[in-house]
Structure 1
Amino acid sequence: MEKCSVICCRECKTHVALTNDVFSLSLEGPLGAYVNPHGHVHETLTVYKSQNINLMGRPTKEHSWFPGYAWTIAYCRRCTNHMGWKFTATTKNLTPQKFFGLTRGSVTPGMQQADELMDGDTWMPIISSADCFYYLYAFIPLDFMKTDTMSTMQWKKQWIVAIGIVVTVFLIYLFVSVGSSNNKFTTEWPQETEKEHNQQYRFWPSFKVDTQHNEKWLKSTCLKSEDDLSLDGIMEIQKKWSKSQDSECRRVYTMFTSIFTITSHPARVVIPDSFAVKVRKWLGNKEELFQSVKKQTVMFIYNEYTREQNVYNPLREKRPMGVPPRPETEYVEELVQKTQPSCDFCKYKLNTAEDTFGRVESEHSFTAANTFKLDSWHTLILLKKHHPLNWTYVEYRDLMSTAQKWLDKAYQQNSRYKYPMFVWDLLPHAGASQVHPHVHGFLDADRYQGAVENWRVGADEYNEDFSTQNYFSDFVSVHMSLGLAVQYGDAVAIASILPKKDNEVIVLGQRPSEDFFKLQYFVYRAFIEDMKKLCFSSGFALPSLDEAAGKGKIPAYVRAITRGAVEEIRSDISSLELFTSQNANTDPYKVIKFIKESIKKRS
């Protein structure tokens, strides 16, 4: 059994408590007695932040221990042991907005037993209200009240029982009073729905790129090691990092472990002799890989705020890849020759629709309204060149300039529509309906669509937990520290440790600047020319066009992934990605090397 020197699940020793307690009575939180409406006493430890805990059901205010707070059952993600409850404020004026109450019996190191209460010590109410039917009593030793320190916290059963009886009698009295005083007191309070909550964003600190905390800093200051970093060894990196006493190391480590939870599980396989020949062939007859198949390790990387998860098996990435029957560029050239004569986009003035304000057109690009729309403002931004691969930075920058002009025109038509997004699939295997390169542009009124809004909600929840921090800034800082980010001017590219699909690179900038677009171009050309990944999919999100709307303001960012071989019949997206978890088995440390080389080569 693992040794646990911090607050962990009693059953499996998984680390569950992350931060100091809510009420600041001790390092481990106040050992308190929560008395519910039925007079039952719950002995708990309160903490602001936890990890490795799942929630069951939606928050409810029914029989809540605290007016203004809804509760949700919490259990250990690893062994499903009931850990206690999460309490979430239902109004914005309550502090704290959320905290966890972990039961005494669910955690280790164990809390002081109830029958160890020293004579002369006392209980004091630390949460109460004139309209409140629920109270939290914490045990306060006399030494603490005299010295302002709490060195020990001890319990006594008769005190708990006595408190329970007193509170129960008081509850009965209050309920009777409520029924006979024309609703002088009420147990009803505003319950904010998830929809209302998601529409009330905070003002976040500005997005900034921190280059001080980089891979060199992490190795020399935090890890005290010059060993190469790899995704295979990320858990060992985390273990070494956690032992650092340097304040900056601790601060960035808190970012890392607050955003990401990384776990691994053994996966054993028994291979009969009759099957071994075929497996060896799959692995290029490499004996080391064959032996690794029998004892595999599967890693789960989970983002606590965006709720994304990637399942990573390093053995899958090490498998020898099959050679296509012919060069992929040869197949693309064949597609170009076959599709160009009948391409509607090549005859766009005759065979494409226009937006109500007309087209936006420039030297290398133009817009065409999508005939079958997915939104009120939904257009296509296209290169005039038919070939999907042979475009320069000048042509790409012109394409992006046309996209920005279209956004401005649509926003001028109706300023309610202010949330801009773009998506781009290159070549049919990536989902493109036409070989001719085209980008879909959207402008939404109420919020960003789908995955973009999920990131925005996650970023707001992060700011709720860390009010002086910007999620996107800290997200970049973590990757920069791990050696998975590279800065270019006022933009930054990261190779994600939790990719949407293979080889994901995320480009971020405070605004859509020249550096931002150049860095995108470097990423795309790295995919096509350096990595020989001709199919890709990418999604763009830009800050709100309403400059006065400062709440929930995201930076400009692009997510780009590769999509497999262009001639491959088999899809690279399956029910696994659609309905369960992401599965990308590419090493981000290899990806970031390609991006760095692309910048050197093309800048």
Structure 2
Amino acid sequence: MEAKSEGPVLAQRGIVDLVNIVAALPEAERERFDRLFRVVSTVGELDPPEHMYRWIERYFGSVEAVLRQKVVKVTNRLTLEETLFNDIRARRPLEARIPAELADEIAKTAPDPFCEPELNTPADPFGRIRGEHTITASNIAKYDGLHGVVIFDEHDPLAFTEALVVDAVRVARRWFEAAHQIDPSAVYPFFMWNCLWKSGASIPHGHAQVSLTRGAHYGKVESTRRATLVYREEYGTEYFDDLFLAHQSLGLASEVGSVRVMANLVPLKEKEVVLTAKAVDDNLARVAYQALRCLVERLNVVSFNLVIWMPPLVDTNEDWSGMPVVVRLVDRGDPLNRTSDFGAMELYAASVVSSDPFRVAEVLWEDLDVR
């Protein structure tokens, strides 16, 4: 992708220097940051036996590099999302290194049921929604009453184009409306795209999933909505506005047209990017595509999760005025590596992340048309 703008100047700052970076902000920006985030740093020390020296030098460059390791813990005070960054991990360059054998592994999975969806997948009660590059099916193993699949024409899940992503979002919106017609009490939409095995995709063929739930939105979405109300009550401003401005103060956020883009300070896992917008439309889909394509082509992302949090389709008793549409996309690692990127820490404590949000932002601003 051709570079369009240099974006905010990051001046080689890094996440392990966050305490000093925040301290240098103007007072108003520092106060806003501090009401959103808590930053704690510590140093871990170790004393390796001489027998380990060669192994350490091979993997970390030098023995000295591991003797004292700075660890920074960033916590979102409102949502309690929390991430731990290690100095020797965060300072590594983010190199593009897509496994050469991955294309062969993907090719071996064809044909699969999604290659001929009208023959090998069930339809929803209201039939199928067809787009220019995608078609829907009913998910055969449902996690909600209304749960469908948006199947891409292209088998290779990494060969997605801007036109395909825009079409998938359009088809998803039509699916939500059709599903709502057969169950008017189902009003809370959710879009999810898992790419390749590490992400939880059971079928490699490119596809996204859609669901429409009733009663209340899914727990993580509803929890965030409630947090925005608490923040507004306490500070008199909107949480997502301040979240964007806090990231922007550090060079970690910018606008692409009407879409706000952030390299998340508390990423769930590697290289998480968050987009917010006023509506689920073609513009948002295009920016999501651009961000995702940047991660794939520039930052070695081959397996990923992408979700879109949306407000209800109709008015409800809840206050959604502070909740924009939110897109979250995150790297899930090398699908050919058998080691999982999620462990007990991520499940029950806090995320442990190697990638530096400042480096992620640096690459994003080189590729996106930011302002």
- After superposition, the Cα gap between the structure-2 partners of 1:322 and 1:400, relative to the gap in structure 1 and judged at 3 Å, is closer
Checking the alignment, whether the CA contact within 8 Å between 1:282 and 1:319 is kept in structure 2 is no
Give the aligned partner of residue 539 of structure 1: 307
Cα-Cα RMSD: 2.3
- After superposition, the Cα gap between the structure-2 partners of 1:548 and 1:564, relative to the gap in structure 1 and judged at 3 Å, is closer
Checking the alignment, whether the CA contact within 8 Å between 1:266 and 1:296 is kept in structure 2 is yes
Checking the alignment, whether the CA contact within 8 Å between 1:535 and 1:566 is kept in structure 2 is yes
Q: Which stretches in structure 1 are left out of the alignment for 5+ residues?
A: 1-213, 217-225
Q: Residue 497 of structure 1: which of 265, 268, 278 is its match? A: 265
Checking the alignment, whether the CA contact within 8 Å between 2:14 and 2:91 is kept in structure 1 is no
- After superposition, the Cα gap between the structure-2 partners of 1:483 and 1:582, relative to the gap in structure 1 and judged at 3 Å, is same
Larger RCO (alpha carbons 8 Å, 6+ apart): 2
Checking the alignment, whether the CA contact within 8 Å between 2:94 and 2:299 is kept in structure 1 is no
Checking the alignment, whether the CA contact within 8 Å between 1:503 and 1:588 is kept in structure 2 is yes
Q: Residue 434 of structure 1: which of 203, 206, 209 is its match? A: 203
Given the alignment of the two structures, is residue 315 of structure 1 paired with residue 315 of structure 2, yes or no? no
Given the alignment of the two structures, is residue 452 of structure 1 paired with residue 225 of structure 2, yes or no? no
Q: Distance in 1 between matches of 2:174 and 2:276?
A: 21
TM superposition score normalised by structure 1: 0.57
- After superposition, the Cα gap between the structure-2 partners of 1:480 and 1:388, relative to the gap in structure 1 and judged at 3 Å, is same
Given the alignment of the two structures, is residue 300 of structure 1 paired with residue 73 of structure 2, yes or no? yes
Give the aligned partner of residue 147 of structure 1: none
1:569 is paired with a residue of what secondary structure? Answer: coil
Q: Which stretches in structure 2 are left out of the alignment for 5+ residues?
A: 1-6
Give the aligned partner of residue 414 of structure 1: 183
Q: Looking at CA atoms only, which structure, 1 or 2, has the larger radius of gyration? A: 1
> Which AA in structure 2 matches 1:584?
V
- After superposition, the Cα gap between the structure-2 partners of 1:309 and 1:291, relative to the gap in structure 1 and judged at 3 Å, is same
- After superposition, the Cα gap between the structure-2 partners of 1:392 and 1:402, relative to the gap in structure 1 and judged at 3 Å, is same
Q: Residue 400 of structure 1: which of 169, 172, 186 is its match? A: 169
Q: Alpha-carbon deviation of 1:238?
A: 2.1
Give the aligned partner of residue 15 of structure 2: 231
Checking the alignment, whether the CA contact within 8 Å between 1:261 and 1:302 is kept in structure 2 is yes
1:301 is paired with a residue of what secondary structure? Answer: strand
Q: Alpha-carbon deviation of 1:487?
A: 0.8
Checking the alignment, whether the CA contact within 8 Å between 1:283 and 1:319 is kept in structure 2 is no
Q: Alpha-carbon deviation of 1:579?
A: 1.5
What does residue range 204-353 of structure 1 map to in structure 2 within 5 Å? 228-241=12-25, 244=26, 249-250=27-28, 252-284=29-61, 287=62, 290-318=63-91, 328=99, 330-341=100-111, 343-353=112-122
Checking the alignment, whether the CA contact within 8 Å between 1:265 and 1:297 is kept in structure 2 is yes
Give the aligned partner of residue 564 of structure 1: 333
TM superposition score normalised by structure 2: 0.91
Give the aligned partner of residue 487 of structure 1: 255
- After superposition, the Cα gap between the structure-2 partners of 1:262 and 1:322, relative to the gap in structure 1 and judged at 3 Å, is closer
Q: Alpha-carbon deviation of 1:547?
A: 4.3
Checking the alignment, whether the CA contact within 8 Å between 1:262 and 1:300 is kept in structure 2 is yes
Checking the alignment, whether the CA contact within 8 Å between 2:16 and 2:70 is kept in structure 1 is no
Runs of 4+ in 1 over 4 A off after TM superposition: 319-324, 547-550
Q: Alpha-carbon deviation of 1:453?
A: 2.3
Aligned residues: 363
Identity of aligned residues (%): 26
Q: Distance in 2 between matches of 1:240 and 1:527?
A: 30
Q: Deviations over 1:17-55 (max 9, x none)?
A: xxxxxxxxxxxxxxxxxxxxxxxxxxxxxxxxxxxxxxx
- After superposition, the Cα gap between the structure-2 partners of 1:530 and 1:321, relative to the gap in structure 1 and judged at 3 Å, is closer
> Which AA in structure 1 matches 2:56?
V
Q: Alpha-carbon deviation of 1:462?
A: 1.1
Q: Distance in 1 between matches of 2:158 and 2:94?
A: 23
Given the alignment of the two structures, is residue 587 of structure 1 paired with residue 350 of structure 2, yes or no? no
Given the alignment of the two structures, is residue 354 of structure 1 paired with residue 123 of structure 2, yes or no? yes
Q: Deviations over 1:88-133 (max 9, x none)?
A: xxxxxxxxxxxxxxxxxxxxxxxxxxxxxxxxxxxxxxxxxxxxxx
Given the alignment of the two structures, is residue 465 of structure 1 paired with residue 223 of structure 2, yes or no? no
2:19 is paired with a residue of what secondary structure? Answer: helix
What does residue range 53-64 of structure 1 map to in structure 2 within 5 Å? none
Q: Alpha-carbon deviation of 1:323?
A: 10
Give the aligned partner of residue 4 of structure 2: none
Checking the alignment, whether the CA contact within 8 Å between 1:509 and 1:516 is kept in structure 2 is yes
Q: Alpha-carbon deviation of 1:550?
A: 6.6
Q: Alpha-carbon deviation of 1:274?
A: 2.1
